[in-house]
């Protein structure tokens, strides 16, 4: 009988494992987030682009999140599947999931790239790119070049959690860092030296994504635990279904965020036009540019939060598969405490240092209206960021335990019911400020529901071993055909 090559996940102290897996995952996600953020910083500080370029970046950003949503659905699902399979001592199932996931990622990347190229103008308009003519022009230029890199971006992002599940979180981090380094080096060269504008920012980003994808391909031919063979690359409907089921929460949490951003962008465009200041053509792009910047800071915080939780997926999956429920419970407690601390630190920054934050994004080149609105946006939009951090941790942890239904429900309620709903309703009463209030209201209400689910999860972790596995991982009681 084969031994469990990942048995250290049941033996090492939980805190040490969290550091080993979460830190590389956090860095990987932060670096991934910095691709778009670095572009926006350089764009904002280029006087010939400024807030128009920033607004264009905000328009295109949700469209890259769609690509990320598809990638993490496959990647996180495969990561959870591989970890659970290794915990049950079934390496052959882990290999099949990995091979199928590679094929899915390549196919989805090519399809999405084609759709974006064919319908680019309509898609940009859907996400608020028509706020004024200059913003639309910059958006279309940036979007075209970013689209050409979509297959590489998706492959690198999808394989990152797969590499972690194979026991190499350090390599996953290094591959993402390498791509980001290329982007950071090329951005100022293309934007300031060559003056390629939005094209330069996009080409720098795509170059970094290609580097990450190439490194992922290299790793997959030198895997550490799961040894791939030719038969693993034969699509299997049942393997695909179960892999995607485990990753559906990651997909929905990202894609629902896109829906919320689309609603927010369009409400900003609509109610900004009615504002005494932002209704003027020369200032029309400011609210969209500013809210995009606030979202980017939020993305940095959430990258840390998601990194801590997603980094725990292999640990949770293995221990769930092995029935070590006390370790899972201990890990959940430590994770919630850590996420709360991150939220508190982020809250202090946005409430006390908003002027410094907006200064990073070219405020010196803009009017006073730009800074004033940015300060208000940071303080209102992110005032309940502590709750947002705890909510996100709960979603991902439940997913790692195999509770896809509860995780998906929470994510959908937060982003679609509350996120989109309040973004559409509150501006009718509070104008542009209504868009900002939609975030904290959504997080408060979601936290109430999350609290109930968290308490229920603690109780269920006290169940008997076999009952627990039936509740969280029912498919482990079946054999693949």
Task: Report pLDDT digits (tens) over 228-285.
Answer: 888 899 999 999 998 998 888 778 767 877 888 889 999 999 999 899 899 998 889 8
Output the pLDDT for position 472: 40
Output the pLDDT for position 145: 97
Q: How far apart are CA 291 and CA 61, in angstroms?
A: 12
Name the range with the highest mean pLDDT among 46-50, 298-302, 348-352. Answer: 348-352
Mean pLDDT lowest among 54-63, 193-202, 429-438:
54-63
Output the pLDDT for position 463: 55
In the structure, what pLDDT confidence band is assigned to residue 477 with cuts at 50, 70 and 90?
Answer: very low
Which residue do the tokens 């492959």 mark? 155
Quote the pTM value: 0.76
Proportion of the chain above pLDDT 90, given as a percent: 47
In this structure, what token pair is assigned to residue 54? 């920033």
Output the pLDDT for position 270: 92
In the structure, what pLDDT confidence band is assigned to residue 31 with cuts at 50, 70 and 90?
Answer: confident
pLDDT in tens, 205-231: 999 999 999 999 999 999 988 888 888
First to last CA, the chain: 20
Contact criterion met (CB below 8 Å) for 451 and 295: no
Secondary structure of 212-226 in HEC code, one letter for each residue: HHHHHHHHHCCCCCC
SS3 content of the chain, % helix, strand, coil (to 5): 85, 0, 15
Q: How far is CA 30 from CA 4, 250, 292, 300, 350, in A?
A: 31, 17, 17, 6, 18
Output the pLDDT for position 6: 65
In this structure, what token pair is assigned to residue 11? 């033996």
In the structure, what pLDDT confidence band is assigned to residue 176 with cuts at 50, 70 and 90?
Answer: confident
**Size of the chain in residues:** 481
Sign of the Cα torsion 50, 375, 339, 461 reads: negative
Q: How far apart are CA 356 and CA 346, in angstroms?
A: 14
Over range 426-431, report the average pLDDT. 93
Nearest by Cα to 256 from 65, 37, 34: 65
Output the pLDDT for position 121: 95
Angle, nearest 10°, between helix axes 313-322 and 385-400?
40
Over range 32-60, report the average pLDDT. 84
Proportion of the chain above pLDDT 70, given as a percent: 93
**pLDDT score of 132 more than 70:** yes
């Amino acid at each position: 009988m084969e031994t469990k090559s990942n048995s250290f996940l049941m033996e090492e102290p939980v805190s040490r494992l969290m550091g080993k897996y979460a830190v590389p995952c956090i860095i990987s996600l932060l670096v991934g987030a910095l691709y778009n953020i670095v572009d926006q910083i350089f764009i904002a500080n280029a006087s010939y682009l400024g807030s128009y370029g920033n607004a264009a970046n905000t328009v295109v950003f949700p469209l890259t999140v769609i690509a990320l949503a598809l990638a993490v659905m496959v990647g996180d699902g495969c990561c959870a599947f591989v970890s659970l399979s290794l915990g049950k001592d079934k390496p052959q199932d882990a290999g099949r999931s990995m091979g199928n996931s590679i094929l899915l990622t390549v196919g989805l990347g090519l399809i999405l790239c084609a759709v974006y190229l064919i319908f680019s103008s309509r898609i940009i308009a859907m996400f608020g790119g028509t706020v004024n003519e200059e913003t639309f022009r910059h958006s279309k230029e940036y979007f075209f070049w970013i689209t050409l890199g979509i297959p590489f971006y998706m492959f690198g992002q999808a394989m990152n959690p797969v590499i972690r599940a194979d026991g190499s979180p350090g390599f996953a981090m290094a591959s993402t860092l390498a791509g980001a380094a290329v982007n950071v080096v090329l951005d100022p060269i293309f934007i300031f030296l060559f003056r390629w504008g939005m094209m330069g920012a996009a080409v720098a980003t795509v170059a970094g994504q290609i580097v990450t994808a190439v490194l992922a391909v290299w790793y997959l031919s030198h895997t550490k635990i799961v040894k791939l063979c030719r038969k693993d690359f034969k699509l299997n409907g049942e393997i695909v279904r179960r892999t995607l089921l485990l990753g559906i929460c990651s997909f929905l949490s990202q894609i629902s965020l896109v829906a919320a951003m689309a609603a927010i962008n369009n409400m900003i465009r609509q109610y900004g036009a009615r504002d005494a200041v932002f209704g003027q053509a020369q200032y029309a792009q400011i609210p969209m540019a500013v809210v995009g910047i606030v979202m980017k800071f939020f993305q940095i915080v959430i990258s840390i939060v998601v990194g801590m939780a997603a980094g725990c997926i292999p640990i949770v999956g293995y221990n769930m598969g092995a029935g070590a429920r006390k370790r899972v419970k201990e890990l959940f407690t430590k994770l919630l405490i850590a996420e709360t601390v991150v939220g508190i630190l982020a809250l202090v920054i946005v409430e006390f240092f908003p002027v410094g934050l907006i200064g990073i994004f070219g405020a010196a080149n803009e009017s006073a209206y730009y800074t004033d609105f940015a300060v208000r946006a940071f303080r209102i939009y992110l005032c309940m960021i502590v709750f947002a951090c705890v909510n996100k941790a709960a979603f991902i942890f439940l997913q790692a335990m195999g509770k896809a239904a509860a995780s998906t429900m929470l994510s959908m309620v937060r982003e679609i019911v509350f996120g989109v709903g309040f973004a559409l309703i509150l501006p009718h009463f509070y104008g542009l400020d209504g868009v900002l209030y939609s975030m904290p209201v959504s997080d408060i209400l979601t936290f109430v529901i999350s609290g109930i689910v968290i308490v229920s999860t603690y109780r269920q972790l006290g169940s008997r071993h076999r009952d627990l596995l039936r509740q969280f991982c029912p498919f482990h009681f079946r054999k693949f055909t």
